[in-house]
């Protein structure tokens, strides 16, 4: 294992501390979020006119922006 996989990180929603699992950033607020507080929402890609699934934290998802 490299040093990056051993680095702890904190979910900005629940303040849970995680180590050894991969963190994912919200595609709207760019904050690190655990899997329990992350949703994959369809977002229109204007370049291709197709919908793509993007990771969005529950805080941004409840704002109804998409």
Domain ranges of the chain: 3-61
pTM summary value: 0.75
In this prediction, residue 66 carries a pLDDT of 44
In this prediction, residue 64 carries a pLDDT of 64
In this prediction, residue 51 carries a pLDDT of 96
Q: What is the mean pLDDT of each run of 10 residues along the chain (66 residues)?
A: 69 91 90 93 94 95 70
Architecture in CATH for domain 3-61: 2-Layer Sandwich (3.30)
In this prediction, residue 31 carries a pLDDT of 95
| CA 25, 28, 30, 31 torsion-angle sign | negative
As beta bridge partners, residue 32 has: 25
């Amino acid at each position: 294992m490299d040093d990056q996989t051993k680095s702890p990180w904190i979910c900005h929603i629940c303040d849970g501390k995680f180590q050894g699992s991969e963190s994912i950033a919200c595609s709207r607020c760019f904050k690190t979020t655990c899997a329990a507080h992350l949703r994959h929402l369809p977002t229109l890609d204007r370049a291709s006119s197709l919908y793509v699934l993007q990771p969005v934290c529950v805080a941004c998802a409840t704002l109804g922006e998409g």
